[in-house]
Chain A
Amino acid sequence: MIQPFAGRDFISMRDFDRGQVEDLLARCRQFEGTSKPLLNGRVLGSLFFEPSTRTRLSFESAMKRLGGQTLGFTDAATSSTEKGESLWDTIRVVEGYCDIIVIRHPAEGSARLAAEATTRPVINGGDGSNQHPTQTLLDLYTIEKRAGRLHDLKIAFVGDLKYGRTVHSLIKSLCLFPNEFYMVYPPSLGLPSYFLEDLQEQGIQSTDFENVEDLPEDLDILYLTRIQRERFPDPIEYERVRNSYQLTPDSVKRFSDKLTILHPLPRTTELDPDLDSHPGTAYFDQAHNGVVVRKTLLALLLGAG
């Protein structure tokens, strides 16, 4: 059987066309509920230069559920980076200890650089404000599970569209399919101009609003994001916009029953805990889907899927 993913890196959704994305999602469905020891004796190097809960733990869970092991660090301060070691050297050292590497790093493009440094497959666990492709894949997987398709949907992105890497990756991927897009953001947090230019060149258009109340009632997907304090160069600007959106059971009443509410988590004030029991809520399922998606990727990239 041909293994088109074996030995590959998983750095950016830009590297995958529509057919490959559909293929990956089909493989994820096959992995649902599977815990065969496909990766027995294999080791995942987990290099987190920035904090993470969901991404790091779901990678560890995925690796262990497939019989593999993990090693690594959860903070740059506990690695040799603190002693001035370059990222390139860190990767060259770690490749000798493991079979596959997942990296999260604040510098944009760091995962691509890591992939250049080693012959081991590298997975991007988030590089600054650029890409978070495994989050995108689990978002797509959740949307497909809830809506039954990835096309002809009315999709709204709400919150920080400027710094949010999950939003950038996901919009790019959903643009591979014919969909209707709505962008809701405070005036200072719209999509970056270079990103908008890319969309325009692809012929992708969206309708922009400042308020959730302006969205159409027959919306299929509402993807809400946290306003990320850590991405703001100016703390005053953060304080100005931090409470721009607060979704409550009352504020989503006007939408139809088909609405699905997604959020990459963690949340702050933008998602009322009372929404957790709303039938349209899917953000915890979304976080849990990270395991099956990452199991699939680990197995495929290591040639065991």
Chain B
Amino acid sequence: MATAAMKEEEKAVTEERDLEVKKGRKLQVSALKSGTVIDHLTQGTAPRTLQLLDLDRGATVLLGVNLPSGKQGFKDLIKIEGRELTQEEINKVALLSPKATLSIIRDYEVVRKIQPNAPDSVEGLIRCVNPSCVSQDPLVRTHFYTERKDPLKLRCFYCERSFDKDEIDFI
């Protein structure tokens, strides 16, 4: 159970963040020499996004969660050192965060800004919501197609059951 002191501390942190936003300042995360910055992730989705991207174990990754955001209130952020994401990987990000933006960094400069677009189909990443679907068999690779991108609606290629972003269950 949270103590009164803990609640006070939490309140103080939130107020400090709000103040930073009002002043137009950003919380500083160390700069990236080269790689990818994924910004404006939906709050709370950074860990699942990392899992989705399936990066090498040795990759250097900086994770920011619950960062103040003028547009979204709070957001998550991921910085990946020395790795430029492919278009397919970028599109996967949009499954969880339709408003995310990606920047490709080279020598500390932003060389490309990308707005991810949910992929037309998703294979092998998520489970079907239908317990009676044939793809519940671990031998069958799951397969969904995107019926609508915003708000996201996926449909199982096999059992034809549709579901939205909140029901996504990663394998």
A residues contacting B by CB (< 8 A) are 12, 14, 86-88, 105-110, 112-113, 127-131, 194, 197-198
* Interface membership of B171, Cβ < 8 A: no
User: Is A88 in contact with B133, judged by CB distance below 8 angstroms?
Assistant: no
| A contact residues around B163 at 8 Å (CB) | 194
Kindly state the separation between the CA atoms of A112 and B135 in the bound complex, as whole angstroms.
11
Interface residues of B (CB under 8 A from A): 130, 132-137, 139-140, 156-163
Most chain A CB neighbours (cut-off 10 Å) among B134, B157, B159 = B134
- Cβ A197 vs Cβ B162 within 8 A: yes
- Alpha-carbon gap, A106 to B159, bound state (A): 11
For the complex formed, measure the closest distance between the CB of B150 and the CB atoms of chain A, giving whole angstroms. 14
Report Cα–Cα, A106/B137, bound state, in Å.
13
Complex A-B, nearest 6 residue pairs according to Cβ-Cβ distance, in ascending order: A109-B158, A108-B159, A109-B159, A107-B134, A109-B134, A110-B134
Indicate if the CB atoms of A130 and B159 lie closer than 8 Å.
yes
Residue in B closest to A14 when the chains form the complex, CB atoms: B160
Known interface pairs A86-B139, A88-B139, A128-B132; A109-B160 also in contact (CB < 8 Å): yes
Q: Across the two chains, which residue of chain A brings its CB closest to B167?
A: A194
Are A113 and B158 closer than 8 Å at their CB atoms?
yes
| Residues of A with C-beta under 8 A to B132 | 106-108, 128-129
Q: Contacts A108-B130, A108-B134, A128-B132; is A113 near B140 (CB within 8 Å)?
A: yes
Cα distance, A132 to B157, chains bound together (Å)? 16
Cα(A116)–Cα(B8), bound, Å = 59
Residues on A with beta carbons closer than 8 Å to the beta carbon of B137:
86-87, 107
CB A256 to nearest CB in B, in angstroms, measures: 36
